[in-house]
Chains A and B, each alone.
Chain A
Amino acid sequence: MRRSINATTLRPVPGLLESQNLERWQRLGEIVRSLLPQPGFQRALSEDVGGWSVEERDAWLDAALAVAPRSARAAVAVYREAPPALRALPSTLRGRLLDILRLAAAAADPVELTALIPVLGALILEIPITERGDALDLALSVAKTYPVAALGLVRCLARLTEEATDDRIRLWVERGFELAKSRPEAARAYFALESRTSNRILHSSPTAASLEEREGVLHRYIQMLSGVPAFVRPGGPFLLRPPLEETPAAGGVVLPATIEILDTWEDNARLYRVLAALLAGRREFGTYAAPDVVTHIRDTEHPAALEACFLLADGYRVARRLAMSYPGLRGDLAWAMKTLQASWQEVPPSMMLLLDMLLAHAIAPQQELLAPWARGAAAVVVPCLTPLAAPAATASDALVTAGLLAALLSFPASHKVSEASLSATAEPSLAAGDDGPQPSAASAEDVAGGDARAPQTAEDISPELLADLQIQLGELAERMTAAGRPLTAEELMRLVESGLISQLAPGTEATFAQAGLYVTQLVGKVLGEKPLARHSRAASSRTRSAELAGAGPMFLYDEWDHVIADYRPSWCCLREVDITEDPGSFFTRTLERYAPLVPEIRRHFQRVRPESWRIVRGLEDGDDFDLNAAIDARAEWRARRSPSPKLYTARARIEREVATLFLLDMSASTDEAAEAGGARRRIIDIEKEALVIMAAALEEIGDMYAIYGFSGQGRHSVEFYPVKTFTERLGAGAKGRIGGIQPRSSTRMGAPLRHSVRKMANVRTQARYLILISDGFPQDLDYGEDRRSYDYGISDTAVALREVEAARIKPFCITVDLAGHDYLRQMCDPQRYMVIENVGDLPRELPKIYQQLVRAA
């Protein structure tokens, strides 16, 4: 029964809602009353909507009403959280975004919608200010045709504008519409940039260099320069000062998916090399050597400001070390810095651009390329950076300099800024910290002009002003005093002009006996006041770093989505995780348990016909004469000696060129007990026994083999466990790791299969096999969007198995799941799998399967 709205209920409402919105509002209230009954529903009405137009309120309420029948929770999220989320947007943008929301809500996944609403405004603000309108028009056009794809597109609008030009984006949208006509279900993934096709179309350009085509070269390049194993993953736009890595020990290096800044492919590819060298240089020259550096930056009051300045200071230090150590890179660095400075001439000023420009200018000074609005800052900042060119300069020294720069480059409160720059919320200012928009799109005058009260000439700097300044000497300043030099009065004047010098706190006891202030002794207030305290957040960050550092390298793999009939690029993150070894007791006990079986298996193996032919000489019988032996025999006969009877050769398959990778499912289900040999034993233990027997037999006949396990939980956490590599002997370590195998989590098969192909890439035998041992079908918590269906996992595994075959590796699946036929026949040919009905037979059957596999080839 519809509740009547009496005057009391309506009292706060007039003024916020027009009458034509009221009917919608009341209807919404009815639908969500179980979650948000009156008066809570009324109180949740945000005052922000008071400033909206009627049409905007209609769109907002329609969005909530559209999703309400499917999810009251999502409707409440739209109702309650959308207005404050959009507060920072001007009305010209807000209206379009609300239209998009209204169109998308009916088709959107309620969970996705609920998660997106609070960040909706922030997503738009990430887009460069001049491109926001066009971006929203684009999203609106998609929302009108494919509303299901709208939210995904909104989420990646900023990325689109970073990675592609307008023309390319238009082309990408057109191709998306074409694709969606034939496969509407693929539209959502396409417009969210979650399909390989979508990414390829976006990034294909005659001049764009893409990471995908360069990844193999770049990760080796970084590894060679830095001496540390590295893997490359795509992320973010091209940045001259890339952010610090959270877990450098894990070896991951983030590079942009494409670079299309310059006019030719060659130049863009060269920029990749320069960026890779800078990132390798961080590792080689100790940016991450002192773990406290990164932690300290994040712990300070203004981490963004300090990190931005640290990236400038340390970036300069690393660049100078690179130029010193690699004469060839000198040219590349100089070229890159000059080219980038030239390309920035027309870009509006901003703090981030200023810092990039200062770095480029410091590395390759070219006064005519330096924007006029940056010259004042350059005159002050570059001398601060100069000491970091010394070979002995460290990341800690760069941190000291960063603290100084963070103080020097802050915007004083006395600066006047225009209303336009206040509303232009491009980037936060360094001094104000991370919260709230700040006037950063300042004009040249704002940066260099300074306080109206500032002295106009050097003589205007009074002794009293100098006496008021306090210098806090940092303990690290001693390292840099050798390169220090005093500030002249003119330089002080420039500091005061820009208002920068007012940021230094007044002193209490310090007096100055000398006229000048040593640049290298200026340590900003930022560092002086913040002790190197350990916070729990930092501790947990370090723990996570340590965990990930101990886990080994990480790899990104695409995954096949049968719904969109395309790969989802870089969808799964796989880590190699060490296994805790046992003392070798499991291995020993297994050999004892199967003592009669192992010799029998060895004998069978030795009868297996090997893979390739070779000439065997010195035989007593064979296909042909061994001419050398025959001549020797003749000579011995002439010498009245008994000649050797070994005069023949034969073509025999003696040499074995076989390599096999055993891939073991270590999912939690293997912890279940099964009937084996009259007792109930864990499936994992029976599988381990099978591996022990296999290993013992293979050691005897000399076939190459490796053993790996896999499990994980979710696509972001696929785990791959090295047990024995191809180049490793079956020693105490490998035996201990076999014993240490334990059940883990889920069964996401695709990424481990793809990683196994990588493991076998350098195995150059004629025959290569991959034997997958599992106890069930592929299953994981986020395996596809329909959690009730196993089709996604099965189809991805099927595609992965085909990729294994395409790599000229023969796969074979063994399962102890009695229902295995049901899904294995979808994943591979009948000749490529076997179901072991009695799990206890696996130790005996696995060698036979291997034998047949190798013989049949």
Chain B
Amino acid sequence: MSEVPYYLPVGDEKDIFTAAWERRLPVLLKGPTGCGKTRFLEHMACTVTRSNGDGPSIPGNLVTVACHEDLTGSDLVGRYLIKGDETVWIDGPLTRAVRQGAICYLDEIVEARKDTVVLIHPLTDYRRLLPVDKTGELLEAHADFLLVISYNPGYQSVLKDLKPSTRQRFVSIEFDYPSRDLEAQIIAHESGLDVEWALRLAQLGEKVRHLRPSGLAEGVSTRLLVYAGQLIRQGVAPRRACAVAVSHSLTDEADSQRAIDDVAAAIFG
């Protein structure tokens, strides 16, 4: 990453992460979808100072893994692959990060199977070790290795939730959608819209989130509002942009869609 990704702080999340980084404490990012967790981490990966004094952003210092229910231990740690007549060991993303001293980001960790998740336990306590059974190694993590996980609390079933033994290995930073003014700044920056239009989109976001008690559990994400802004910047009419980027993306329920479209009409005219 040659350029520091844009991130506008909402609270003290940057200070907390920096402090955790200094001590290499594993971090858990919690928040609804599209509220900036990944962007925050990308930003911080480019701003933290490494142990050798290197400044921001070295290539590959952030390794991201999108977790899913078929994710196995091999997918994280590594596997032998056949290359021609040879059998070679290929490090998985977690092993790579451990060796190189990168930040390993396991996104939506609850989607992964529990027998996969427990692999990270030795890395997240004082040991900072990664056992690689297939090669017989016991890797000690690089001084600059940091494990970050994320998940969306929302509704999680018993089967898809972090075990207490996993949760209690991380420092938690909670995210939520920013206030109207801050969100407008973000939308303006990301989409290129002027502030007045960005404020209207942020106002729409604020209004739609009032439906959270009525079934739209997460409201509209900042990401979707940015998409709407980008569409408007491309010349799409604002109400149409809000329809395709907000109401139709959020819900299939006709009444909710129409109501959101009506609020967009009230805001944009």
Q: Which residues of A contact B (CB under 8 A)?
A: 216-218, 220-221, 223-229, 273, 277, 326-332, 617-618, 628, 632, 634-636, 638-639, 641, 655-656, 699-702, 704, 726-727, 761-762
Contact = CB atoms under 8 A, between A and B. Distances in A.
B269 interface: yes
Q: Is the interface of B mostly helix, strand, loop or mixed?
A: helix
A800 B127 CA distance: 61
B74 interface: yes
B211 A632 contact: no
Contact of B215 (A225, A618, A656, A761): A761
**Best-buried of B213, B259, B264, B267 by chain A (most CB within 10 Å):** B259
A634 B82 contact: yes
B158 interface: yes
A225 B266 contact: yes
A224 B89 contact: no
B211 A273 contact: no
A225 B72 contact: no
A224 B211 contact: yes
Contacts, number: 93
B267 A327 contact: yes
B258 A217 contact: yes
B155 A220 contact: no
Contacts of B266: 225, 277, 326, 328-329, 332
A332 B263 CA distance: 12
Given A229-B213, A327-B269, A330-B269, A220 B157 contact: no
A634 B87 CA distance: 10
A332 B254 CA distance: 22
Given A216-B255, A328-B269, 11 more contacts: A217-B258, A217-B262, A218-B259, A220-B255, A220-B259, A224-B211, A228-B210, A327-B200, A635-B80, A638-B82, A700-B158
Nearest to A655: B159
Given A224-B210, A225-B207, A727-B155, A632 B260 contact: no
Contact of B211 (A220, A617, A628, A727): A220
Contact of B259 (A221, A632, A701): A221
Interface in B11-68: none
Contacts of A223: 210-211, 214
List the 9 closest A-B pairs by CB distance, nearest first. Answer: A216-B255, A220-B259, A328-B269, A702-B158, A635-B80, A639-B87, A638-B87, A326-B266, A224-B207
B80 A639 contact: yes
Interface string B186-218: 000000000000001000000110110111010
Contacts of B267: 326-328
A636 B134 contact: yes
A273 B255 contact: no
Contacts of B255: 216-217, 220
A224 B260 contact: yes
A700 to B, nearest CB: 8
Contacts of A639: 80, 87, 89
Contacts of B158: 699-702
Interface in B60-102: 70, 72, 74, 79-82, 87, 89
Contacts of A330: 269
B268 interface: yes
A320 to B, nearest CB: 15
Contacts of A638: 80, 82, 87
Contacts of B215: 761-762
Contacts of B208: 224
**Best-buried of A216, A220, A617, A656 by chain B (most CB within 10 Å):** A220
Contacts of A229: 213-214
B175 to A, nearest CB: 19
A780 to B, nearest CB: 29
A221 B261 CA distance: 9
A129 to B, nearest CB: 38
A225 B214 CA distance: 14
B269 A331 contact: yes
Given A216-B255, A636-B134, A727-B155, A224 B263 contact: yes
Nearest to A330: B269
B256 interface: yes
B211 A702 contact: no
**Best-buried of B79, B262, B265, B267 by chain A (most CB within 10 Å):** B262
A758 to B, nearest CB: 10
Interface string B134-159: 10000000000000000000010111
A327 B79 contact: no
A540 B128 CA distance: 66
B263 to A, nearest CB: 5
A656 B215 CA distance: 22
Contacts of B80: 632, 635-636, 638-639, 641
B217 to A, nearest CB: 8
A618 B115 CA distance: 11
Contact of B268 (A327, A628, A655, A761): A327
**Best-buried of A218, A277, A618 by chain B (most CB within 10 Å):** A618
A273 to B, nearest CB: 6
Contacts of A216: 254-255, 259
Contact of B79 (A273, A329, A618, A632): A632
B247 to A, nearest CB: 11
A627 to B, nearest CB: 12
27 contacts: A216-B255, A220-B255, A221-B259, A221-B262, A225-B210, A225-B266, A277-B266, A326-B266, A327-B268, A328-B267, A329-B266, A331-B269, A332-B266, A618-B72, A628-B72, A632-B79, A632-B80, A634-B82, A635-B81, A638-B87, A641-B80, A641-B134, A656-B159, A699-B158, A700-B158, A704-B157, A726-B155
B265 A328 contact: yes
A636 B155 CA distance: 40
Contact of B214 (A220, A273, A332): A220
A646 to B, nearest CB: 9
B253 to A, nearest CB: 8
Contacts of B260: 220, 224
B263 A221 contact: yes
B134 A702 contact: no
Nearest to A761: B215
A636 B159 CA distance: 32
B96 to A, nearest CB: 18
A617 B258 CA distance: 43
Contacts of B214: 220, 223, 229
**Best-buried of A218, A326, A634 by chain B (most CB within 10 Å):** A326
Given A635-B81, A639-B80, A727-B155, A328 B207 contact: no
B87 A220 contact: no
Contacts of B159: 655-656, 702
Nearest to A632: B79
Contacts of A636: 79-80, 134
A376 B87 CA distance: 97
Contacts of A704: 157
Contacts of B134: 636, 641
Nearest to B262: A221
A635 B87 contact: yes
A326 B208 CA distance: 14
**Best-buried of A639, A699, A727 by chain B (most CB within 10 Å):** A639
Nearest to A228: B210
Nearest to B259: A220
Contacts of A635: 79-82, 87
Contacts of B72: 617-618, 628
Contacts of B87: 635, 638-639
Contacts of B82: 634-635, 638
B79 to A, nearest CB: 5
A636 B132 CA distance: 14
Contacts of B81: 635
Given A216-B255, A220-B256, A618-B72, A227 B263 contact: no
A412 B211 CA distance: 50
Nearest to B215: A762
B153 to A, nearest CB: 11
